[in-house]
Structure 1
Amino acid sequence: MAENYTDPSGNTAQFRAFVESSPDPGAAAPAPPRLPLIAGIGAAVVLVVLVAWLALS
């Protein structure tokens, strides 16, 4: 192991500095847009209705 490695759990002050400097993994990725999902579901419903109408007529 490297000589200059310091264990962040060595003492409370080092651990708090380590935690505060770490990026938050939950806040990094924004939610994807919902418009393509809604449009895809709408297109699927229209397609099913169209196929059912053609099959029953």
Structure 2
Amino acid sequence: MSDNQVDPSGNTEAFRAFTRTGPEAEAPSKIPYLIGGLVAVVLIAVIVVLLVR
């Protein structure tokens, strides 16, 4: 079975074309990590306040 994707390291011309164009994937969003971190900080603050009382 033939492979439809060309391995850019297979030959010099394909590798040079790959490095010029770069990968086409977008960077994932960091918003979920930001929201998760904020929720964690709020939960820790609530626990500390309840323990201090």
Would the TM-score normalized by the shorter structure come out above 0.5?
Answer: yes
Unmatched segments (≥5 aa) in structure 1: 1-7, 10-14
Spell out the pairing of 1:38-53 with structure 2 (5 A cutoff). Answer: 38-53=34-49
Distance in 1 of aligned mates of 2:46 and 2:23: 42
Length-normalised TM-score, structure 1: 0.55
For these two proteins, the number of residue pairs brought into alignment is 41
Structure with bigger gyration radius: 1
Could you tell me which amino acid in structure 1 is paired with residue 35 of structure 2? A
Distance in 2 of aligned mates of 1:53 and 1:27: 47
Distance in 2 of aligned mates of 1:55 and 1:28: 50
Higher relative contact order (CA closer than 8 Å, sequence separation 6+): 2
1:28 aligns with 2:24: yes
Length-normalised TM-score, structure 2: 0.59
Return structure 1 stretches of 4+ with deviation > 6 angstroms.
Answer: none
CA RMSD of aligned residues (A): 2.3
